[in-house]
Every structure is written in C-alpha cells, then in structure tokens.
Amino acid sequence: MGRTARRTEASECRQCLTYCDRVIAPATCVAARCPSLYAYDDPLNGVRYMGCAQKVFATEIDTKLFEEAERGKGYGTLKLAREPMACCAFSIEKAHERPPGEEWLCRNKRFADFPDTSPAAVRAFDLRHGLDAR
C-alpha cells in the first residue's frame, strides 16, 4: 500500500510540550451527512469501506467494524491529514495535560481555530483603501 502524506502544520502543534493534534470523529461526519463521505465495496474481498473524498482523514474504514464500535463505546477519533472543511467538526486532542511550568504554556492559542490555509479560514482584509462595490 502507498503511504499517505500528511500536512503536519495543518494537523499538529509542537510549539510547547503539551503536543496537540487536530482530530475528527468519523461518527460526526456520518451524523452530519457530510457530502464528502463516501462508501464503496472492495471487489476482492466484498468488504464495504468508507472514507473522506476531501481526505480530511486519510484512512478508509471498514463500515461493519465502524458500526460495531459505534454500538459500543464509539469508534473514536482520527488525526486530520489536511485542513478541515467548513462542515468538519474537528476537536483538539492533547497528548497530556500541562503541569505547572513555563515550558508547558500554550504558545499557539489559535491552533483550535481553523488553520489559515483552510478553505474555511477567516480571511483578514485591508480597509485602508475602502471597499469596492463590485
């Protein structure tokens, strides 16, 4: 199998010792009826897989195992492989909680926001020259 390249600047922050990752629960995609969610049947083994057409999460999930996990404690989360889309309900997962100490203080407080490179990012604009009514 080929390796999936991940954009680490879009999915993880290592600026302090807490180590944060952006993650998404595929169950939120299913519940929101995300239009980027797809499913297909593998012709070799007959197993149905689902995945994200936008590759927000890069893995393809066996739907039978996913449904079994959801009936129990839940499937869990996957690390983002790229910037989230506007409809993605991502969250931040910390490797561990911060004990007291300067080196553990968050240095990237905007990491919980949409990344600047995301299509859903809020764009800043310059009003010094006024607004065009185009």
SS (H, E, C) the chain: CCCCCCCHHHHEECCCCCCEEEEECHHHHHHCCCCCEEEEECCCCCCEEEEECCCCCCCCEEHHHHHHHHHCCCCCCEECCCCCCCCCCEEEEECCCCCCCHHHCCCCHHHHCCCCCCCCCCCCCCCCCCCCCC
Domain membership of residue 1 (yes or no) is: no
Residues 59, 1 contacting (CB under 8 angstroms): no
**CA 96 from centre of chain:** 19
Residue at 19: amino acid letter: Y
Domain membership of residue 24 (yes or no) is: yes
Domain that holds residue 43: 19-108
* pLDDT, tens digit (0-9, with 9 covering 90-100), for 75-132: 999 999 988 888 888 999 988 776 776 667 778 888 887 776 666 555 555 556 565 6
Domain membership of residue 74 (yes or no) is: yes
Domain membership of residue 65 (yes or no) is: yes
At residue 127, the pLDDT reads: 57
* pLDDT, tens digit (0-9, with 9 covering 90-100), for 48-70: 999 999 999 999 999 999 999 99
At residue 120, the pLDDT reads: 59
Domain membership of residue 98 (yes or no) is: yes
At residue 83, the pLDDT reads: 87
Domain membership of residue 84 (yes or no) is: yes
Number of domains in the chain: 1
Phi-psi category of 98—alpha, beta or left, where left has phi over 0 and alpha has psi -120 to 50? beta
At residue 1, the pLDDT reads: 45
At residue 2, the pLDDT reads: 47
In angstroms, rounded to a whole number, what is the distance separating the alpha carbons of residues 80 and 13? 12
Domain membership of residue 113 (yes or no) is: no
At residue 66, the pLDDT reads: 95
Domain membership of residue 124 (yes or no) is: no
